[in-house]
Amino acid sequence: MRDLDSIIKAYDVRGVFPDQLDADLAHDVGAAFVQVLGIRAEDGGAGAVVIGHDMRPSGPDLVSAFAEGVREQGCDVVLIGLASTDGLYFASGRLDLPGAMFTASHNPAQYNGIKLCRAGAAPVGQDSGLRDIKAMIIHGIPAYEGRIGEVREQDMLADYASFLRELVDVSKVRHLKVVVDAGNGMGGFTVPAVLEDAAGLPALPLTIVPMYFELDGSFPNHEANPIEPANLVDLQARVLSENADLGLAFDGDADRCFVVDENGTVVSPSTLTALIAQRELAKHPGSTIIHNLITSKTVPEVIVENGGVAVRTRVGHSFIKATMAETNAIFGGEHSGHFYFRDFWRADSGMLAALHAIAALGEAPTGTTFSSLLTPYLRYTPSGEINTEVEDQQSAVDRIRAAYESRVGVSVDDLDGMTIDGGDWWFNVRSSNTEPLLRLNVEAADASTMEQIRDDVLAMMRAGA
């Protein structure tokens, strides 16, 4: 019996192929997806599912099995072939169909996974369908006696590229040299279509220096996970050697984007969130913008300074997207490099974030560097996320709470883990969903305070490790 709890996770289906995620399971997920979401036209649903996959070798076989499960339940299938995850979200939004994206994002080569969404790219997570899909697979998927669904293929890449360039127009920016590290992932498929002219769009005033654009799910150069500093070293060096204006790095399915400035310095996703927030508020004055609780305090400050409404939420795309829907927020950003846009069906798009970075620099006066553009947003010193293995996590959290909550001027909240705010410093401690880890993020007005708080909290954590 498969351990579905280890495969069907909070936001997606993910596991080692074929030991955990194989064709049989993909078939069952497809069939249960139709049943749980009521996708058949006769039940009032969309009547079809759109499916895409990344460059992993196991993708086509898993797609075929999933599609067969969908068809056996009386639903049609629209195959868009190779796609980034935001390319699948685009197809789901443009076609108004539920979708399935086969990807394991930044995970190593032996993994694959399935990200599911409702029509209009609305997320499917544990509380919005995944738990019920898992239960149906365990207890048995009801057979369907009606017609078998049909399959058609549809290429969405050109429409995707055109749509993004309409949302963020970079056609009139000054000339920029941009190094792009696709990490052998789907950025190598989408960047030429959006930033060059492979999709038949007009050429842009950009010189793109490609790195690792060859689609290769074995990731021969480095892991396609730009949140890890080691995976950005090649990009940093190339930006310097090319005397480039900017560097961009995408993860495996290209739904996340990290930026490197002209000095080879990695730009914090919080800083990029603040920059994009200011740009979006210039277009939509007074609007709401979402940020998760471990982005820099700079983010809500910039939002308020620019006349917007800042709303703080838990970490995770399902919480961001739900809060965006509730508040009609125009934009949302996370510390992990996920950026969400109302005009993109509230879905995350690494390419849209990249276009904003290019536009912000390209619209600035000649001679402006990306690092100088970001100076107003560099207000605090962050620790970055620090993971510590702790067996008795609750006892560790209780120790930390007891040490800080009685201090004058300190506030404590439990929105997501525990956040303790001391005014000119704050920290958050959260448990991992899958490992015996506590995650610590600290930020302070100066480096010495950050280091003092960081070391103090880590010592209390490790006392019970």
Domain range annotation of the chain:
4-155, 159-262, 269-377, 381-462
Residues of the chain with pLDDT > 70, as a percent, come to 98
- Cα radius of gyration (the chain): 22
Q: The domain at 269-377 falls in which architecture?
A: 3-Layer(aba) Sandwich (3.40)
Residue 412 CA to its chain's centroid (Å):
28
The predicted model gives 194-213 an average pLDDT of 89
Region for residue 183 given its phi and psi (left: phi exceeds 0; alpha: psi -120 to 50; beta: otherwise): left
The predicted model gives 285-310 an average pLDDT of 97
Q: What is the pLDDT of residues 111-150, one digit of tens each?
A: 999 999 999 999 998 889 999 999 999 999 999 999 999 9
Q: Which long-range contacts (CB under 8 A, 24 or more apart) does 16-22 make?
A: 16/110, 16/111, 17/56, 17/58, 17/62, 17/110, 17/111, 17/112, 18/58, 21/62, 21/111, 21/112, 21/113, 21/114, 22/62
Cα dihedral 456/457/458/463 (nearest 10): 90
Judge whether 4-155 and 381-462 match in fold.
no
Q: Which sequence positions are flagged as catalytic?
A: 105
What kind and span of H or E run contains 326?
Answer: helix 317-327
| Band (198; pLDDT cuts 50, 70, 90) | low
Fold topology of 159-262: Alpha-D-Glucose-1,6-Bisphosphate; Chain A, domain 3 (3.40.120)
Q: What is the pLDDT of residues 357-378, one digit of tens each?
A: 999 999 999 999 999 999 999 9
4-155: CATH, from 1.10.1040.10, 3.40.1280.10, 3.40.120.10, 1.10.460.10: 3.40.120.10
| Band (391; pLDDT cuts 50, 70, 90) | confident
| Band (434; pLDDT cuts 50, 70, 90) | low
- Contact criterion met (CB below 8 Å) for 440 and 454: yes
Task: Identify each DSSP E strand in 48-193 by its residue range.
Answer: 48-53, 76-82, 99-102, 111-118, 122-123, 151-153, 176-181
- Contact criterion met (CB below 8 Å) for 246 and 259: yes
Write down the pLDDT at residue 315.
Answer: 87
Report whether pLDDT(464) > 90: no
Write down the pLDDT at residue 331.
Answer: 98
Q: What is the pLDDT of residues 212-253, one digit of tens each?
A: 999 999 999 999 999 999 999 999 999 999 999 999 999 999
Write down the pLDDT at residue 462.
Answer: 87
Write down the pLDDT at residue 362.
Answer: 98
- Contact criterion met (CB below 8 Å) for 114 and 12: yes
Q: How high is the mean pLDDT of the chain?
A: 95
| Band (11; pLDDT cuts 50, 70, 90) | confident
Report whether pLDDT(107) > 70: yes
**Dihedral of CA 348/258/162/217: which sign?**
negative
Rounded Cα distance, 348 and 338, in Å: 6
Write down the pLDDT at residue 465.
Answer: 55
Q: In terms of residues, how long is the chain? A: 465
Report whether pLDDT(1) > 90: no
| Band (199; pLDDT cuts 50, 70, 90) | low
- Contact criterion met (CB below 8 Å) for 425 and 450: yes
Region for residue 164 given its phi and psi (left: phi exceeds 0; alpha: psi -120 to 50; beta: otherwise): alpha
CATH 3.40.50.12280 describes domain 381-462: no
- Contact criterion met (CB below 8 Å) for 193 and 254: no
3-state helix, strand, coil in the chain (%, to 5): 40, 20, 40
Please provide residue 283's backbone torsions phi and psi, each rounded to the nearest 5 degrees: -85, -30
- Contact criterion met (CB below 8 Å) for 420 and 460: no
The predicted model gives 282-308 an average pLDDT of 97
DSSP-H helix ranges across 96-156: 130-139
Report whether pLDDT(2) > 90: no
